[in-house]
Structure 1
């Protein structure tokens, strides 16, 4: 915990400092949501095709899913969401003429969540 997944447009691959973003997001998650640094895990999933409305070109997206153990207030989740979007603005630079659609969501992990380390 937390489990962080970042979906991003393939067109952003060269314009998205993913390691820098993950490190900064982990720091924000520790500060805002009281997570433990070694517990923060981020994976990135490259999305090959993005369609926005009728458009197949000229758009890129980043969506960040943050899943935390339950117990955080809605205010804490909202602060973390806003901090996440601020970090997207800092670490993603879409090409000129490309509209970047960015979103983030913080949710509680299901009660069935379990993990192990080997």
Structure 2
């Protein structure tokens, strides 16, 4: 069974313009369609970051990065498709903060063989 663990790190100044529930729902749907995940297995957590430094500058930038971790077995093409879909969903669910340069990125990787879980 595919176990997507999704983490979204985002700059605090993006909070008001980021439809996080809508993004998570759409990303779960894309993960089911593209990577054959089971809908109840999709889990997304959002981590708000207060400080972002890009290059030598301490201001004027906002950042969002989406980490998607899947159990092994997906092709590189499937992972690339999911990454591209993730970036497209960010474009539709996120408005950059006024006067900020938005740096958006995503990656799909495989969970380590040591991954285990339980439900209770």
Shorter chain as denominator, the TM-score bin is over 0.9
Tell me whether 1:82 sits opposite 2:81 in the alignment: no
Corresponding residue for residue 118 of structure 2: 116
The superposition leaves residues 5-44 of structure 1 with CA deviations (integer Å, 9 ceiling, x where unpaired) of 0000000011100000000000000000000000000000
> Gaps spanning 5+ residues in structure 2: where?
none
Q: Name stretches of at least 5 consecutive residues in structure 1 with no aligned partner.
A: none
| Residue correspondences, number | 118
What stretches of structure 1 move > 3 A for 4+ residues in a row? Answer: none
Deviating more after overlay: 89-98 vs 30-39: 89-98
With the length of structure 1 as denominator, give the TM-score of the two structures: 0.98
What is the CA distance between 1:95 and its match in structure 2?
2.2
Q: Aligned-pair RMSD on alpha carbons?
A: 0.6
What SS does the aligned partner of 2:29 have?
Answer: helix
- Matched with 1:54 is 56
Structure 1 position 28 matched with structure 2 position 30:
yes
Q: CA separation in 2, counterparts of 1:97 and 1:13?
A: 15
